[in-house]
Structure 1
Amino acid sequence: MEKILEQLLKDAPDAILVADHEGLIRFWNLGAERIFGHNAAYALGQSLDLIIPENLRGRHWDGYRRVMATGETKYKTGLLTSPGVSKDGSKVSLEFSIVLLRDENGEMYGFASVMRDVTDRWHRDKALREKLAACESELGRRSG
């Protein structure tokens, strides 16, 4: 069964990564390579800044340090959304879940995350929102 789980983690199409207490990447699967463009040999040992847009890093690290210190987060369940950044600098829209990880002594080790690239859907939704706003504006002009 261990080999099966290893294969699942390594080959999943979604990005699966583990970061330690300091925010250094300790596991990076093929899905993460596909989504972010960095191979595991490069990503392992790198800071999560590798995939976090620069303008969001301050807020991210404030929250990360708080969670590592307290072992608590309001994001234990549910799907989160956030932009990420790929190797070529392009933005990636992500949906993801996180799992807090503890060592054998119950101390915070870091976290695992499963991330899905939803960039195409985000662009389609944005286009629909823009069309809806244009239609509502036109209706407002006609009825006003």
Structure 2
Amino acid sequence: MTLAQFALAVNADTKWVQNASAGLGVYLAYSEGDARRLGLAKVIHETAGTPLRAAWEMAGPALAADPSAPIVSAESGDGSVRVAVDVDRYLCTFTAWLSRAYLHEPRRRGRPAVRERAPALSAESFGLDVSLIAANMRRPLAERLREADDAAELMNRFRLRRSG
């Protein structure tokens, strides 16, 4: 996952993600798990007004809680802040953010990636003879289907002789 995708999954911009990582003093691997936790920490931070570090500490246990109890009370280490988290609802929201991240990743800067060669050219450069495949593809579709049906019928006759 790229930084841009990670930021979209967290529902933040890239600079916020980088500042959050530095402020928390944690290395974010730009994985779905880290995005899930940082996204929840961001929601707790913005909603409850808790410091981001405390929200990060609350998000971990809240996400690790038993899924059969969707509303989890996340609290700070000293118990001074308690937040009720509807984990199922948050995970649904996070899934939407993650989908947006994968589908609408901002276009990357720089030169476009090198396109791969056609599979037939790759096969030829590997040393395979693709002339029969090319000749078969030039034939009409109805003729190829008829030949495939004949081959299937022949195989069925051999199976019946073997089993009978």
Structures share a fold, TM > 0.5?
no
TM-score of the superposed pair, with normalisation by structure 1 = 0.23
TM-score of the superposed pair, with normalisation by structure 2 = 0.21
More helix by share: 2
